[in-house]
Amino acid sequence: MKRLTTLAISTALTLGVAGLASAQDQAGPMADPHATQNPAIKSPKDMTQAPLAKGHNSFTKAQARGRIRKAGYANVTDLTLDADGLWQAHATRDGQTVNVALDYKGNVAAQ
> For residue range 28-84, what is the model confidence (pLDDT) as tens digits?
445 555 656 555 555 544 445 568 999 999 999 999 999 999 999 999 999 999 999
37: amino acid identity, one letter: Q
Q: Given this model, what pLDDT does residue 51 score?
A: 80
Band of pLDDT at residue 23, cut at 50, 70 and 90: very low
Average pLDDT over residues 16-25: 47
Whether residues 48 and 30 fall in one domain = no
Domain extent, residue 48, equals 42-111
Whether residues 46 and 71 fall in one domain = yes
Return d(Cα 13, Cα 21) in angstroms, integer: 12
Q: pTM for this one?
A: 0.56
Whether residues 19 and 48 fall in one domain = no
Return d(Cα 76, Cα 78) in angstroms, integer: 7
